[in-house]
Amino acid sequence: DRLFETYIAAPAAPEPIVGFKIMTRRLASALVGLIACSASTMLLLLSTSFSTRDDAKWTGGGHDTTPPPHGEDAEYDYITGSGAPYHPIDEFRIIGRYDEWSGGRIGSNDGLNESMVLGGEAGGANKARKGGKADSDDDPRRPKKRPKGEKWHGWDGHFHGTQPPKNEWWRNSNNCFAVDNICHRRKDNEWFYYPRRSGGDPFQPNMELKSAPAKYDGGTNSGERRISIKVSSSSILEPTEISYEEDGNAFVENDSNKTRCQISSRRHVVVQSMFNDMIGEFYSRSLLGLYRIMKEGADANRTNDGILPWEEDIQFYAHIAYGNKIMLDGHKLLLSGMLSNPDSPPPKSFLDLFVPTGVEHDSDDCQCYDKMVFCGYDVYTHHNNVLSKDLEPAVDVEDSYEINASVNRSFKYDPTTKYTLWSSNSIDGGVDMAICGRSNILDGGEYACQEWNGLRSHLGANVLRHYSTLEGDIANKRREYLLKIGFIDKDYSGNTKEFTVIGLTQRTYRRSWINLPDILEKCNAAAFERVICVEVNVEKTSSPFEQLILHRSLDVMIGVHGAQLTQAVLLPPHAHVLELLPWITDYIRGDWVRTTHVVTPLGVIFHNTDLNHLGYSLDRSSVPLCEGVPQDQEESCFLRRRKQFIWDNRDFIVESGIILRYIEKFVLLVRGKERTCNELKDALDDRFVIYNTWCVKPNYWFPGSWEGVKDCIYGSGYPIDHTDSAKKDAYLFDEREACCAAYQLLCQSETHDLQQSPQNTTLSLWHNYHPRTKRAKKRKMKSNILADQSFVQT
């Protein structure tokens, strides 16, 4: 704080030599405060300590340096500290037609209110009007999510059974927001609206997109401040101010600069969610919600003779809200799979719209968009003439069928309302893991949920359309593996499908597999028939397509719990995934990554898919820390090295016998053969857990539902573990009469006489979770009782 007051809020500096002496004294007086600061805080403060107002000069090393003119400081890099100095006193200079101090187009309102900050048009004039107050929702040095106003609950008709307009599928979500006919100049980060030539009234509200992320991880993940939008409904260019080009794809402003603005007719869709820099979180928080919304839009479009959402011409952007994170090839690969058109533009980082790397901005760098959609944002509203700082913090109102009347549900144009977009936890609420994948309720709910399977199938079908040579490229990749190990020679002419290719994931940074080379050597030297083990490291790939080939060429993928397993959703049909569960003690966080009574938060993405997903619980030997320390001193040793010991930071060791046993007892056991669920259960020891697999289940009579009627029905769709003798005796029966005798209420009504199939077994999906530990039982005893009661009642 002292540094901020001393340098950022200081008046103009005197002459160079005097200024240097004063600065030296001030730095010395501030050192006491710096000693108590963390290293990250010091870097943040020092990176802004030489910021300056336009009428000031700063001295550094005795050299007098004049800051760049207004509007040329948008390229400042907050990570490296390079670029032009940042003007912290002028945070909101990014709205409407650019004005450095008022923060936007010139308004006709002389009052110092938020309307002036948003800007307004006064006869097309572009005169400087200084003053105006900025929002105080977030800290300009470290933006945090502090929403104000009323929670906006989406477009009219949301969750009320009415269809949205044709081809506007985003209106199925209450955290997708869209504006029409908006323009942006990268230089000065200026946003404004342009008039629609025809086709109705555009939606062009007062709107601000905040740079603050939904949540922080410790003190390192501050918001990416370069991503920020502010635009006013009064910043609309008048038809007389512009001239459209003949093809209508651009217009020229009729001012002295003759600025040209290119118009993009395709949809531009920004997706955002909490922690979406991590691929696993991006998949579950962003893509699943996006898939849900587009799927609902497809149902509406089929009745409106519209094209399907994934057939549209869409430019996707991933908004990584954290300033020290970037968009990866994995983001681009998965996001591109949401569209079926092979000519769809590749996804981009949202940051590219603001500060594209290595590109110098021209003075007429202007891009316009017919439609821009923001998905993954909580939207709050308040009157435009009320400052945010004068509002009470917003209180979220949960979505329900009966929304409180005070909640703003209108999307009609209202120039007096401001919409503020804050980063949300997930798109459309994400997935309810208590129902879809991580449920303990014995009513069949965990088998009924098909959203993860739908998303995987959707991505798989689309990537095949995108890459017409994919099958040949996969065969070449597998042939390359086999040639390198010496399993085939150059004269081999097969398609390699007779071989089983097993990929073991490796990371260069954090969670490295220390003894992976040894395991690869032992695997390829083992007496397995037609089996090869290879390393899988996405950090060594150079493109999204290379990542796709890398994973699609595998039959089996093995790796420790974490983001590197996410791309297993790209494995070929009926592939295998072994998730190694980290060893976690009771006194260090991370217990959720080793659950065996339900699937892990990462493993849930494979739930009810065609993949065979197993887990294995690693033990103390997997942790290469505090080795040789007496057991009674181990805890204190780990706590002293806490940062290294936390599961998501530490490297790990896996005993080779675990991997070889899994390959022999499971992968090869089911290769080309259908096995009963009992065979799979008996083949592996208790350290393995079968999260999701396909096996032969016997048919039984059981209490359930047939065509909406509760009855005793026949088949293999029962939602219990038939290998558990106690559950089998209580719920599964060889004859209908026995089932009806046990559940008399189910058989009283007239029902269809279900004939017993001559085939007594069916290949079915099966989850064989472990019983709860004593620790979990204490936490969940009540929910278990309710779950059992729910099943009996059903």
| Section 763-781 average pLDDT | 71
| Section 307-329 average pLDDT | 93
For residue 653, give both structure tokens. 């060791």
Share the mean pLDDT of the chain. 77
Q: What backbone torsions phi and psi does residue 772 show, to the nearest 5 degrees?
A: -65, 150
Helix (H) / strand (E) element for 768: namely: strand 761-768
Length of the chain: 794
For residue 148, give every residue at least 6 positions away whose Cβ sits within 8 Å of its Cβ, in sequence order, or none.
137, 380, 382, 388, 391, 392, 393, 394, 420
Picking from 200-214, 414-428, 689-703, 752-766, which range would have the lowest pLDDT averaged per residue?
Answer: 752-766
Rounded to 5°, angle at Cα 528 from 526 and 532: 80
Percent of the chain with pLDDT over 70: 70
Task: Identify residue 770 by its one-letter amino acid code.
Answer: H
pLDDT number for residue 171: 87
Percent of the chain with pLDDT over 90: 47
Torsion of CA 704, 709, 713, 715, to 10 degrees: -80
For residue 591, give both structure tokens. 């217990």
Q: 563-611: per-residue pLDDT in tens?
A: 999 999 999 999 999 999 999 998 888 899 999 999 999 999 999 999 9
628 pLDDT higher than 80: yes
Ramachandran bin of 200, using left for φ above 0, alpha for ψ from -120 to 50, beta for the remaining angles: left
Q: 291-307: per-residue pLDDT in tens?
A: 999 998 887 666 556 78
Looking up tokens 């070929």 gives 572
Judge contact between 690 and 614, C-beta under 8 A. yes
83 pLDDT higher than 60: no
432 pLDDT higher than 80: no
What does the DSSP 8-state code read for residue 565? G
- The Cβ-side half-sphere exposure at 113, using a 13 Å CA radius, reads 13
Higher pLDDT, 30 or 479: 479
Q: Where are the extended beta strands (E) located within 411-555?
A: 417-423, 500-505, 531-536
Task: Identify residue 227 by its one-letter amino acid code.
Answer: I
| Section 108-134 average pLDDT | 31
- Residue 330 β-bridge partners: none
Structure confidence at residue 710 as a pLDDT band (50, 70, 90): confident
Higher pLDDT, 499 or 48: 499
- Residue 251 β-bridge partners: 244, 261
Q: How far apart are CA 591 and CA 392, in angstroms?
A: 37
User: Cα–Cα distances in Å, from 236 out to 107, 241, 263, 584, 622?
Assistant: 12, 10, 15, 57, 62
Overall pTM > 0.85: no
Task: Identify residue 145 by its one-letter amino acid code.
Answer: K
Judge contact between 566 and 602, C-beta under 8 A. yes
pLDDT number for residue 216: 64
pLDDT number for residue 621: 94
pLDDT number for residue 792: 36
pLDDT number for residue 93: 28
Looking up tokens 């979500």 gives 173
Query: Residue 490: helix, strand or coil by DSSP?
Result: coil
Structure confidence at residue 684 as a pLDDT band (50, 70, 90): very high
| Section 370-374 average pLDDT | 97
Structure confidence at residue 665 as a pLDDT band (50, 70, 90): very high
Q: What is the largest CA-CA distance in the chain?
A: 100
Q: Distance from first CA to last CA of the chain, Å, rounded?
A: 62
pLDDT number for residue 558: 98
535 pLDDT higher than 90: yes
Structure confidence at residue 521 as a pLDDT band (50, 70, 90): very high
Picking from 300-309, 489-498, 538-547, which range would have the lowest pLDDT averaged per residue?
Answer: 300-309
Structure confidence at residue 89 as a pLDDT band (50, 70, 90): very low
Picking from 310-324, 398-412, 521-535, 558-572, which range would have the lowest pLDDT averaged per residue?
Answer: 398-412
For residue 476, give both structure tokens. 């070449």
Higher pLDDT, 55 or 454: 454
Quickly list DSSP for 137-181.
SS-SSS-----BSEEB--STTTTTTPPPSTT-GGGG-TTEEEEEE
pLDDT number for residue 262: 93
Judge contact between 399 and 293, C-beta under 8 A. no
Higher pLDDT, 386 or 738: 738
764 pLDDT higher than 60: yes
Picking from 506-520, 537-551, 758-772, which range would have the lowest pLDDT averaged per residue?
Answer: 758-772
Higher pLDDT, 654 or 432: 654
For residue 413, give both structure tokens. 């144009």
Q: Are strands 531-536 and 229-231 parallel, antiparallel or unpaired?
A: unpaired
Q: How far apart are CA 1 and CA 20, in angstroms?
A: 21
Domains of the chain plus CATH, in order, are 2-67 (no CATH), 114-399 (no CATH), 445-656 (3.40.50), 697-793 (no CATH)
126 pLDDT higher than 50: no
Query: Residue 615: helix, strand or coil by DSSP?
Result: strand
In sign, the C-alpha dihedral spanning 647, 650, 656, 659 is positive
Exposure b/e, 392-427, CB count within 10 A at least 16 = b: eebeeeebeeebeeeebeebeebeebbbbbbbbebb
Judge contact between 106 and 125, C-beta under 8 A. yes
10 CB burial (10 A radius; 0-12, 13-18, 19+): middle
Structure confidence at residue 182 as a pLDDT band (50, 70, 90): very high
Which of 334-338, 485-489, 508-512, 774-778 is predicted most confidently? 334-338
Ramachandran bin of 281, using left for φ above 0, alpha for ψ from -120 to 50, beta for the remaining angles: alpha
In sign, the C-alpha dihedral spanning 620, 625, 626, 632 is negative
Judge contact between 2 and 8, C-beta under 8 A. no
